Amino acid sequence: MSFDLVLFGGTGDLAWRKLMPALFQAFRHGTLPAGGRIIGVARDDLSDEQYRALIRARFDEVDLAKRPSPEEFDRFAALLHFLRVDLSKPQDYQRLAADLRERNADTVVMYLATAPSLFTAACEQLAAAGLNTPNTRIVLEKPLGHDLASNRAINETVRRVFSEKQIFRIDHYLGKPSVQNLFALRFGNSLFEPLWRRETIANIQITIAEDLGVEKRGAFYDQTGALRDMVQNHALQLLCALAMEPPINAHADAIRDEKLKVLRSLKAWTPQALAQDVIRGQYSAGNVAGEQVPGYRSEPGVNPDSMTETFVALRAEIANWRWAGVPFYIRTGKRLAGRDARIVVNFRPAPHAIFNSPPGAANRLVIHLQPKDGLELHLLAQGQDNRQQKNAGQSLSPVHLDLDFDKRFGSGRVGAYERLLLDVIDGRLNLFVRSDEQEEAWRWVEPIMEFWRNDNTGPRPYAAGTWGPSAASAMIARDAYCWSEEC
Ligand code: NAP
């Protein structure tokens, strides 16, 4: 199968850091279909050779194990081409059209790795140049809009030009092996399904913590914030994977229909819930891994009076039979105590205690997403010989089963972007987000944005290197629970 992958924004940060390394890995693993071209597109005037040289230089920044040898790069470079196209200039699309028509590949992928402000014009001009053929697929990077209205506007334009089955909206979390394993855990095993409900589960915690600050993306982040950058997309997609009903099969729409139902079942915000159950924070100077780091407002590109949140913790509920009354806590932020993405499923304690167990002890399933990829099942067991003690033999201690997927399957598993790029080329939509899911997610976060706009108390400060503002702990403590690292 021949393909042309047109990488709009082919000289940008995303292309260098994520897409090219992922394409190279697919090439190295032999999974990239033969007979393909990767065409970088931007406004620079580069020859193919100059583009290849730029990419070769950028590979020096990639992890050693993922870096090509000179011979490997030469073979990979044969796929790379460059075309100068200014997406805002209609006449430039003719050059692209002529190039693509001449080759007439079986599949054409248009990957829009550019600012979302260019998406609408790009789609309209692709159509005007006759490039919305049935064998074309379009890939849209996040953020797809900054609120419900802008998201709808982009989706409406794209859908005027491409049918839904040609549109691949990326949420790279769905491509992570650890998230695939969450689906496998739930729908490939029967063990947990009878327990996966309100009768047995006390609460579920989703944490996506980063220890990094905004790095070089301060200006972008200051317009975005943690709610739009992480909650509206990644965290809600994880919540869907945790809470959805088993789909009738593994086809894209069967999965997406079930995720949509979860989003539609999210309990609507009340003024009281907005005031109590959503905490926003912003990091101040602090110490991360022994290094003194500046506060958010002193980061390059950030407004010194910025009210943008770098941390969000919230309490959600899903109003359906399976989950009614079970709190789902979501927490994400920058400059937190560590890089750690995990889901903690806290089961209810045994209904009647016949042993001496540590206070509050109960079973817990920890699903590690990043940097570790694995599962821990926390149980209570009688370990030490405690015959000397009162109630001899009846005291239980916490122990856990530990499954490390990296050790079990090797760390060379297919990465998120590699997996997603191959899926686009193969036309598999399972791991991409449908427009109605996105709209529903925006609909749910919009009242939070509105509440913050009218609340001039602003985000609560937290010292870099901590787990966020203490109000996040107070929020969960109101339910008599605690974040997993606190208890
Ligand atoms: P970037 O570094 O600013 O790169 C933008 C790219 O678009 C450059 O190649 C630029 O090249 C090209 N471009 C800009 N205006 C153009 C025009 N009128 N016509 C043709 N090409 C144009 O941005 P980025 O960080 O790669 O981000 C790209 C998209 O991915 C954004 O939507 C971003 O939110 C999203 N994203 C990025 C990351 C990340 O880690 N970087 C992660 C997730 C999502 P010229 O200026 O030379 O034309």
Q: How confident is the model at residue 412 (pLDDT cuts 50, 70, 90)?
A: confident
Read off the pLDDT of each residue in 414-430 and give the average, rounded to a whole number: 96
Residue 21 CA, distance from chain mean position: 18
Residue type at position 450: E
pLDDT at position 116:
86
| Domains, in order of start, for the chain | 3-141 (3.40.50.720), 174-413+435-477 (3.30.360.10)
Read off the pLDDT of each residue in 133-147 and give the average, rounded to a whole number: 93
Q: How far apart, in Å, are the Cα atoms of 75 and each of 21, 28, 391?
A: 14, 10, 70
367 contacts 353 by C-beta, under 8 angstroms: no
Residues in contact with 312: Cβ distance below 8 Å, sequence separation at least 6, in sequence order: 226, 227, 230, 231, 278, 279, 280, 281, 330, 331, 332, 333
Range of lowest pLDDT (269-283, 301-315, 331-345, 355-369) = 355-369
pLDDT at position 394:
75
d(CA 81, CA 83): 7
Ligand 1 atom 30, closest CA:
113
d(CA 430, CA 256): 8
Q: Which of residues 113 and 383 earns the better pLDDT score? A: 113
pLDDT at position 384:
66
pLDDT at residue 386 tops 70? no
Number of Cβ within a 10 Å radius of residue 279: 24
pLDDT at position 19:
97
Determine whether 249 is exposed, middle or buried from the number of CB atoms within 10 Å of its CB (0-12, 13-18, 19+). Answer: exposed
- Ligand 1 pocket test, pick from 6, 8, 13, 38 with the greatest ligand atom count within 8 Å of Cβ, gives 13
Average pLDDT over the chain, rounded to whole?
A: 94
23 contacts 68 by C-beta, under 8 angstroms: no
pLDDT at residue 129 tops 80? yes
Q: How confident is the model at residue 385 (pLDDT cuts 50, 70, 90)?
A: low
Ligand 1 atom 37, closest CA:
14
pLDDT at residue 389 tops 60? no
pLDDT at residue 387 tops 70? no
Query: Each residue of 185-196: pLDDT tens digit?
Result: 999 999 999 999
pLDDT at residue 34 tops 90? no
d(CA 344, CA 367): 6
Q: How confident is the model at residue 164 (pLDDT cuts 50, 70, 90)?
A: very high
pLDDT at residue 289 tops 80? yes
Q: How confident is the model at residue 382 (pLDDT cuts 50, 70, 90)?
A: confident
Ligand 1 atom 5, closest CA:
12
Calculate how far, in angstroms, residue 8's C-alpha sits from the geometric centre of ligand 1: 8
Read off the pLDDT of each residue in 343-369 and give the average, rounded to a whole number: 91
Q: Convert 13-58 into a string of H (helix), E (strand) and C (coil).
A: HHHHHHHHHHHHHHHHCCCCCCCEEEEEEECCCCCHHHHHHHHHHH
Determine whether 199 is exposed, middle or buried from the number of CB atoms within 10 Å of its CB (0-12, 13-18, 19+). Answer: exposed
Query: Each residue of 292-330: pLDDT tens digit?
Result: 999 999 999 999 999 999 999 999 999 999 999 999 999
pLDDT at residue 32 tops 60? yes
Ligand 1 atom 46, closest CA:
43
- Ligand 1 pocket test, pick from 43, 146, 171, 228 with the greatest ligand atom count within 8 Å of Cβ, gives 43
Q: How confident is the model at residue 390 (pLDDT cuts 50, 70, 90)?
A: low
pLDDT at position 411:
67
Calculate how far, in angstroms, residue 306's C-alpha sits from the geometric centre of ligand 1: 24
Nearest C-alpha neighbor of 162 from the set 197, 135, 196: 135
d(CA 440, CA 148): 8
Calculate how far, in angstroms, residue 16's C-alpha sits from the geometric centre of ligand 1: 10
Calculate how far, in angstroms, residue 317's C-alpha sits from the geometric centre of ligand 1: 36
Residues in contact with 139: Cβ distance below 8 Å, sequence separation at least 6, in sequence order: 109, 110, 111, 112, 168, 169, 170, 424
Partner residues linked to 318 by β-bridges: 266
Read off the pLDDT of each residue in 269-278 and give the average, rounded to a whole number: 98
Give residues (CB < 6 A) around ligand 1. 9-14, 17, 42-44, 85-88, 113-116, 118, 141-143
Query: Each residue of 62-93: pLDDT tens digit?
Result: 888 889 999 999 999 999 999 999 999 999 99
Residue type at position 273: A
Q: Which residues are catalytic?
A: 234
- Ligand 1 pocket test, pick from 58, 114, 142 with the greatest ligand atom count within 8 Å of Cβ, gives 114
Query: Each residue of 248-267: pLDDT tens digit?
Result: 999 999 999 999 999 999 99
pTM as predicted: 0.95
